Structure 1
């Protein structure tokens, strides 16, 4: 997927829109930055990327974000993304055949109408995402966006292992966050936590 992504973005006329952090490759230095991101940005092509919040805890990815932002790229984060994908201009989309393993190949869609739904999905996530260099805001219940999504996954019956894959965070972090939410809800089980979350208006 990454090879084709570079080819497509290299031919972009207006904008590249990206879901996920896996496409970013940090050069050893700005002087050595001859990756496609630099080439695209220097041609005046807009780059917008939405990453998962777990990206904020990765120093290498944050360094890549600073490097890309210095070239004019814009990066935001959300707790969960539906799938990695890339949109080039208004008529080309690239999505992995297996969202959990981009090395297994990708599906390329062409045509304005064919990628219309994916453009809508991207823009929805973009307007609700938090700029990468701003702290994630808590809502009226004191929940961060990741905690809110963790509650939804918990209530939907996801296991700790599946939640860590979905959120892109470690198993230890998931278990610690679940324990914290249960304590705040005064719950002694996951089922009780779901009931209490509904009663408190958290779900």
Structure 2
């Protein structure tokens, strides 16, 4: 770790990933995450972030609207939401930044994200949080399991009751291809890796409607 001569206690240039993970490991209340582009193969969060989620640390994740058009990312983000993260999207995110407990901001110093700056200056951190909160208020929540439409919930109930894709399609009056596309969307929203897991998660959350 190296520090600047002007403000050695306030700004530090860190070598990712170990130093960043160490900073994240101190989180106890809330972590804010903003990403300017796609989430990449590993998603928008680091390994330490997932550990924080398991410990009950609140996560608010702000991404660009472009992630909604990428099925693989929607699926990955659905799993993240299932782990407890709150996710919203806006047309444009101005910077890649993570804020830990409202006291430390971790900013990418280059597009590759290989070098980051950790800022503890309260004025800077407060400004970053204020901008994040303004975007968060106008951001569109990534559709969650609770927002499954009636047709999607009915399809999930049919498949959970043992209907095949073909029989479910006939019952709903849609094509088999539509049924399979709907099911892929449902799994992404529930953060499920299989249809069976999707049914279990829907039942656990009380959104599995009874068949009529």
TM norm structure 2: 0.53
Q: Residues 110-189 of structure 1 correspond to what in structure 2 (within 5 A)? A: 110-133=120-143
Structure 1 residues 24 and 76: alpha-carbon distance in aligned structure 2, compared to 1, 3 A threshold: farther
**2:102 corresponds to:** 90
SS at match of 2:123: coil
Aligned residues: 125
CA contact (8 A) 1:51 1:76 kept: yes
Does residue 102 in structure 1 map to residue 125 in structure 2? Answer: no
| CA distance in structure 2 between the partners assigned to 1:38 and 1:107 by the alignment | 21
SS at match of 1:102: coil
Structure 1 residues 24 and 40: alpha-carbon distance in aligned structure 2, compared to 1, 3 A threshold: farther
Structure 1 residues 69 and 2: alpha-carbon distance in aligned structure 2, compared to 1, 3 A threshold: farther
Does residue 19 in structure 1 map to residue 34 in structure 2? Answer: yes
Following TM superposition, by how much is the alpha carbon of 1:70 offset from its aligned partner in structure 2, in angstroms?
Answer: 0.9
Following TM superposition, by how much is the alpha carbon of 1:86 offset from its aligned partner in structure 2, in angstroms?
Answer: 0.5
Structure 1 residues 124 and 23: alpha-carbon distance in aligned structure 2, compared to 1, 3 A threshold: farther
Show structure 1 runs of 5+ residues with no match: 27-33, 135-203
CA contact (8 A) 1:53 1:77 kept: yes
Following TM superposition, by how much is the alpha carbon of 1:23 offset from its aligned partner in structure 2, in angstroms?
Answer: 7.5
Q: Which has the larger radius of gyration?
A: 2
Superposition RMSD on alpha carbons, in Å? Answer: 2.3
Following TM superposition, by how much is the alpha carbon of 1:24 offset from its aligned partner in structure 2, in angstroms?
Answer: 7.6
CA contact (8 A) 2:59 2:86 kept: yes
- By relative contact order (CA 8 Å, sep 6+), the higher-ranking structure is 2
Match of 1:8 among 20, 23, 36: 23
Match of 1:54 among 58, 66, 70: 66
CA contact (8 A) 2:16 2:116 kept: no
Show structure 2 runs of 5+ residues with no match: 1-14, 145-212
Structure 1 residues 23 and 110: alpha-carbon distance in aligned structure 2, compared to 1, 3 A threshold: farther
| CA distance in structure 1 between the partners assigned to 2:60 and 2:41 by the alignment | 12
TM norm structure 1: 0.55
